[in-house]
Chain A
Amino acid sequence: MSDNSAVQAAYDQRWQRILDCVALKQPDRMPVAFFATFWLAKYGNISCKQLMYDYEKTREIAERAVLEFDPDTYSTLVLATASGRALEAIGFKQVQWPGHGVGDDQPYQYLDREYMKPEEYDDFIFDPTGYYLHTYLPRVATAFEGFEGLPKFPGLHYFRLVAGMRAFAKPSVRAALERVIKAAEEVERFSGHHLAFTERMTSLGYPCTSAVTAIAPYDFIADYFRGARGMMTDIYRRKEKVLELLDKCSVFLLKQAVATARSSGNPVIFIPVHWAPDAFMSDKQFREFWWPSCRKLLMGIIDAGLIPMPLWEADCTKRLEIIRDVPPGKCIYWFERTDMVKAFEVLGDVVALRGNLSPSMMTTGTPAQVDAAVKHLVDKVWAKGGKLILDTAFGLPDETPVENVRAMFDAARKYTG
């Protein structure tokens, strides 16, 4: 076998393990995933800031890590970390990152704020694109400041359309457009490094399973528009508007996810789930506000021949019976703190499972404890027929000692071949 065909075979074999799990077939061995963000800084002995700003160094460290741990699948190691220059270029206000609100050795953090006012629901629902251009984008990134002055496009026609173009001559609009073009050039460089890294990994035989992301409609509105407090009170104060916007979002979020996945050629769509946990809302609220629009998204992804992979954050034990309502053999459900044995009991005949070594154990425990935790999942889930992709609870916690990561991969090989 030539080197090239050997690499291709290795790639196919790893990918097949994931696809077998999704299809609820028995793979030749339990796949193990490598999902990391700022843990790479620890591994490469550099600061979080360097990881965010030095494209080449980050790629080199990420490649070294993948080669050392030899996983069946890896995450977007460059895209999820080396965004410093791009964030700076667009003047992104929703995140604080090293040198911009947090220290050089701290990961970036999202700022939960009200980015959409309660009285703006109707504007967003009526014309999402207009709302983005005139209101949302200038609010969340400095590069777009000035877009408030763009013309209101709907309604422009004939000579009214010609005259409407005057807005582009405004100094504030011109300056904004120039900033956006400059920012886009940096984003293009950043994306280029991500794509080059992915191609390099493919050439070494490793598939990625989080290249494309999507978001549940409720989380989209709660996290990125209304903020936690706003959304939680909106479900009482403006319930009808929330439901209307959820419905609208489920359409464009689905279209965007499917289009991105198709252009990337990667069928797995990673959906980090924030507001589904048991503690965050009642069963009735979950069934009314959270699940219907998310299910619509999941079904749309499945109907497009793609694979949704929600990461159910925190503990979602009480939701298991509800989220079981998807066709069998189509999804990967990644759980963070939900008891995986319980998840297997309820969902084992419907979805592949992913996860979920505890963050506190990974960061403060010993290699022997990691080994025991892997064995527990192997014995109670994998050996009983669960289609488990072994991973940590939401990716490697940044502080995880390297020996605990080695213990995770060693134990997976030791117990499942």
Chain B
Amino acid sequence: MNADEKQLVDWLADMNEEEALALAKRMLFDDGKDPLRVLELCRNAMDIVGKRFEEGEYFLPELVLAGEMLETIGALAKPLIKHAPGQEPKKLGRVLIGTVHGDLHDIGKNIVSFMLDINGFEVKDIGIDVPVARFIEEIDTYRPDVVALSGFLTLAFDSMKETIAVFEEKGVRDKLKIMIGGGQIDETVRAYTRADAFGVNAVEAVNLCKKWLGAAA
């Protein structure tokens, strides 16, 4: 890692947004840096952000700001990428995520979605108030490895339970890992809904997926 590269990682990890974005633009547009390398540096920075989150130094504002910085750099870098056939970066696995029916909340779900995305998972976010039938359709066509059910209200307990029960009825339950999350979710709710696991934050969601899909956490 040269000095510029290290500087970009540090600025991103330290939340120096203006400096980081200016440097990323210079690397991409003036220095002709390989956009894949710039994105790799972003991922390195996010690893540091995730670690600081787990260590209690960073909280939601840093996850959200880091996510927005990466979104901006990603939008600049992606049009510059020229993939040779077969060279698309390999994803760690597919995650289908949505807020269960009856619940319109999405702050937590959105943070989990982008944290999974930048940690190398292919994520399909099917929004809020998702009917059970929609989850089934998506499981049939998208074939996710993990289904993530989100919910903030207490009504989500029953929606999650019902959603997972239908997965069981339709015979798709055993092909999936299911994780749940949201403001009121705890072990009691996990047992009630028969999900495989619950997480209390986005980094826990990433670690659960990494564990299930055999990637190093």
Contact = CB atoms under 8 A, between A and B. Distances in A.
B104 A232 contact: no
A236 B15 contact: yes
Contact of B154 (A96, A102, A112, A359): A359
Contact of B59 (A236, A279, A397): A279
A170 to B, nearest CB: 36
A364 B189 contact: yes
B186 A399 contact: no
Interface in B86-104: 102-104
Interface string A83-110: 0000000000000100001110011010
A284 to B, nearest CB: 10
Interface stretch (B4-12, B30-38, B61-69, B165-173): B61-69
Contacts of A65: none
B17 to A, nearest CB: 7
B104 A360 contact: no
A360 B186 contact: yes
B142 interface: no
Interface in A234-278: 235-237
Interface in B176-208: 183-186, 188-189, 192, 200-201
Contacts of A236: 15, 17, 61, 65
A360 B153 contact: no
B186 A363 contact: no
Nearest to B184: A359
Interface string B137-160: 000000000000000011101100
B158 A399 contact: yes
B157 A360 contact: yes
B81 to A, nearest CB: 27
Contact of A280 (B59, B106, B192): B59
B105 interface: yes
Scoring B102, B106, B107, B184 by chain A CB atoms within 10 A of each residue's CB, the highest score goes to B184
Interface string A357-376: 01111011100000000000
Given A228-B107, A285-B59, A233 B157 contact: no
B154 A397 contact: yes
Given A236-B15, A399-B155, A281 B59 contact: yes
B215 interface: no
A376 B135 CA distance: 40
Given A107-B155, A360-B186, A101 B59 contact: no
B107 A112 contact: yes
Interface string A199-242: 00000000000000000000000000000110011011100000
Contacts of A176: none
Contacts of A359: 154, 184
Contacts of A360: 157, 184-186, 188-189, 192
A67 interface: no
Given A237-B17, A282-B58, A232 B65 contact: yes
B107 A282 contact: no
A134 B39 CA distance: 43
A75 B110 CA distance: 33
Contact of B155 (A106, A111, A237, A365): A106
B74 to A, nearest CB: 17
B59 A358 contact: no
Given A281-B59, A397-B154, A109 B105 contact: yes
Nearest to B157: A363
A391 interface: no
A295 to B, nearest CB: 20
B174 interface: no
A103 B102 contact: yes
A229 B154 CA distance: 23
A145 interface: no
Contacts of B185: 360
Contact of A232 (B57, B61, B189, B192): B61
B60 interface: yes
A364 B157 contact: yes
Contacts of A235: 61
A235 to B, nearest CB: 6
A72 interface: no
A127 to B, nearest CB: 28
Interface string B116-136: 000000000000010000000
10 contacts: A102-B129, A103-B102, A228-B64, A232-B64, A233-B64, A233-B68, A237-B17, A279-B201, A360-B185, A360-B186
Interface of B: 15, 17, 57-61, 64-65, 68, 102-107, 110, 129, 153-155, 157-158, 183-186, 188-189, 192, 200-201
Going nearest first, the 8 A-B pairs with the smallest beta carbon separation are A397-B154, A360-B188, A232-B61, A232-B64, A364-B192, A109-B104, A228-B107, A360-B189
Given A360-B185, A361-B188, 8 more contacts: A101-B104, A112-B107, A229-B68, A235-B61, A236-B65, A280-B60, A360-B157, A360-B184
